[in-house]
């Protein structure tokens, strides 16, 4: 019997998420600077009679076990391309917050692709895997690549970015999730309500911040803190006003920067060093403004086979 194959995949934080206007196809152009951080899911692929999904870990009960699961869709897409049966049991060990704006579902899809490719011996090229990732979702290619990268288009067109050091992060995990499509709709609504308009014709094309790129390259956490931004944050706060209390608690505890991670509701806090991160985490845990707190750092590599 073929031995199980396990892939380990990181979470991400968006240090810049610049969102263009609503396109006719319903998407938005992005300038999305991803940074992979050391919270990981593991996806194990084992031969089976049919496609099956099981999940363990935090919030496992909120992860779909049918073919709407991104990991299942990844396995199906790879199997279809290579004309093989998607006969695999995918077991997901979750450590990335579910529906938390940290690309946990995208990570699972990238991990499933990598694990199934190894299990089935399909020998897909890196380009083919990235192509499947892009077809499945905007954040999934970065989950495969990791490190730090600029995402253009819907976020799937990646350019790796140079980094000069390690950045220390604290993540405050909220109760419940936020739907990414709902946050984008609220972003559009708020733009319309402001009178500025929400269409691609109304909103300037998103561009990466040069100050942010420079801070990443030099590894300067203080400079990065000044440059981080998230155009979806007002929408996330509109849908979940209590997040403002979480952001304030982290800032009061000495975080260099406080922002909603992606579409939320997880909040991300940049700290000066390991000790400062622990201080911020302790204060957040005592603040009563979040469910759990995680401390980590990045950048870290993208999807990797365990033991490979």
- What residues are labeled active site? 12, 139
Is there a binding annotation on residue 1? Answer: no
Say if residue 298 carries a ligand binding annotation.
Answer: no
Q: Is the peptide bond before 299 cis (omega within 30 degrees of 0)?
A: yes
For residue 206, say whether it is annotated as part of any ligand binding site: no
100 is an annotated ligand-binding site residue? yes
Three-state SS for 243? helix
Is 263 part of any known ligand binding site? no
Is residue 236 reached through a cis peptide bond, with omega within 30 degrees of 0 on the bond before it? no
Closest CA to 230 of 209, 205, 255: 209
Q: Does 15 count as an annotated binding residue?
A: no
**What DSSP assignment string belongs to 152-218?**
ETTTTEEEE----S-EEEEEEEPSS---HHHHHHHHHHHHHHTTS--BTTTSPPP---HHHHHHHHH
Q: What is the CA radius of gyration of the chain?
A: 19
* 3-state DSSP assignment of residue 223: helix
Distances in Å between the alpha carbon of 91 and those of 60, 115, 244, 305?
11, 11, 36, 14
Q: In degrees rounded to 5, what are phi and psi of residue 264?
A: 80, -175
* Contact between residue 23 and residue 138 where contact means Cβ atoms under 8 Å apart: no
For 75-133, the three-class secondary structure string (H helix, E strand, C coil) is: HHHHHHHCCCCCCEEEEEEECCCCCCCCCHHHHHHHHHHHHHHHHHCCCCCHHHHHHHH
97 is in an annotated binding site: yes
DSSP states of 133-146 as a string? HHHH-TTHHHHHHB
Establish whether 198 is an annotated binding residue. Answer: no
Q: Is 107 annotated as a binding residue?
A: yes
- Which positions make up the binding site for ATP? 97-107
Instruction: Please state the residue numbers annotated as binding site.
Output: 97-107
């Amino acid at each position: 019997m073929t031995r199980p194959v396990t892939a380990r995949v990181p979470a991400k934080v968006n240090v810049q998420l610049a969102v263009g206007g609503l396109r006719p196809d319903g998407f938005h152009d992005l300038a999305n600077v991803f940074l992979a951080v050391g919270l990981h899911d593991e996806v194990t692929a084992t031969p089976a009679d049919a496609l099956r999904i099981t999940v363990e870990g935090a919030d496992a009960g909120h992860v779909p076990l049918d073919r709407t699961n991104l990991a299942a869709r990844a396995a199906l897409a790879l199997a279809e391309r290579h004309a093989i049966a998607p006969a695999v049991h995918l077991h997901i060990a979750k450590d990335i917050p579910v529906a938390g704006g940290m690309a946990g579902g995208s990570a699972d899809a990238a991990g499933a692709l990598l694990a199934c490719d190894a299990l089935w011996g399909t020998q897909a090229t890196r380009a083919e895997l990235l192509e499947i990732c892009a077809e499945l979702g905007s954040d999934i290619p970065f989950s495969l690549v990791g490190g730090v990268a600029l995402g253009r288009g819907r976020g799937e067109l990646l350019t790796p970015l140079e980094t000069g050091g390690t950045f220390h992060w604290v993540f405050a995990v909220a109760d419940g999730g936020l739907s990414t499509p709902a946050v984008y709709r609220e972003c559009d609504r708020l733009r319309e309500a402001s009178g500025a308009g929400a269409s691609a014709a109304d909103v300037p094309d998103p561009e990466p911040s040069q100050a942010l790129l420079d801070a990443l390259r030099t590894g300067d956490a203080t400079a990065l803190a000044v440059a981080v931004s998230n155009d979806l944050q007002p929408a996330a706060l509109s849908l979940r006003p209590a997040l403002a209390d979480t952001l304030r608690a982290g800032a009061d505890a000495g975080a260099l920067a406080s922002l909603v991670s992606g579409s939320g509701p997880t909040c991300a806090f940049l700290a000066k060093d390991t000790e400062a991160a622990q201080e911020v985490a302790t204060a957040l845990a005592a603040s009563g403004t979040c469910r759990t707190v995680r401390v980590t750092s990045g950048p870290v590599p993208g999807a990797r086979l365990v033991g490979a």
